[in-house]
Amino acid sequence: MTRRKTHRFIQNAESSNVIEAGKTLYKTIRGNWRSEYFGNDHPIVLELACGKGEYTVGLGQAFPTTNFIGVDIKGDRIARGSKAAQLLGLSNVAFLRTDINFLQEFFAAGEVAEIWITFPDPQPRPKQEKHRLTHPRFLAMYKQLLTPGGTLHLKTDNPELFAYSLEQVKESGAIDLQFTTDLYNSPLNEIHMGIKTKYEELFYNKGFTINYLQCKIGCDSRM
């Protein structure tokens, strides 16, 4: 492990806005994010596979009366988002270090208002399908965690993953589906507040179009 990574892991251990193994809240936070961490009743929004947390931090700045939690397994990445949020004084931003497969161990049914998936690994090989974050097993988990009518967002530069994801959300029973294959030339761009991750900026500057979808997939979305 490099000295820089070691420093970031130490930073995570000392940062109150990072929830990870070894900290008390890691075992008690499920169903208690508002009371035990944020101390308010504001909606909770997740960014899955948040990387360095640029989108989580950007959303936290744009919407101060909403609670945002970036989720990733990579501690060295989370450390950067954690530090950025601290420097900006964002008390409505937190980071959870865990595997996304275990989300239900950290969030109770209906505890989450929205889920963002921003530029996930497309897992392109057929044998990797079950690892795609829009695979039916993940969509079923999101449906349980989201409030009734809760919203799922996906941004990706990968057209194959986007086509796959569109098919899966339609089959999941999601409603109010809106999507575009060219976000920055779409009316849907207005809801993104100009927030771009480092990789999104890179893709966009290289001429790639950004695919985006949103839909309501909460447990009672069809009622």
Take residue 50 and report the two structure tokens written for it: 């948040």
**SS3 of 221, please?**
coil
Could you tell me the two tokens for 46?
């997740």
Q: Which of 72, 76, 99, 121 is catalytic?
A: 121
Question: Smallest Cα–Cα separation from 70: which of 47, 87, 86, 104?
Answer: 47
Class of residue 95 by CB neighbours under 10 A (exposed 0-12, middle 13-18, buried 19+): buried
Could you tell me which residues come within 8 angstroms of residue 155 by beta carbon, excluding any fewer than 6 positions away?
Answer: 116, 117, 118, 119, 183, 200, 210, 211, 212
| C-alpha neighbours within 13 Å on the C-beta side of residue 107 | 27
Does 220 qualify as catalytic in the annotation? no
Structural contact between residues 70 and 145, judged by C-beta atoms closer than 8 angstroms: no
Q: Measuring CA to CA, which residue among 192, 212, 155, 153 is closest to residue 62?
A: 192
Residue positions annotated with a catalytic role:
121
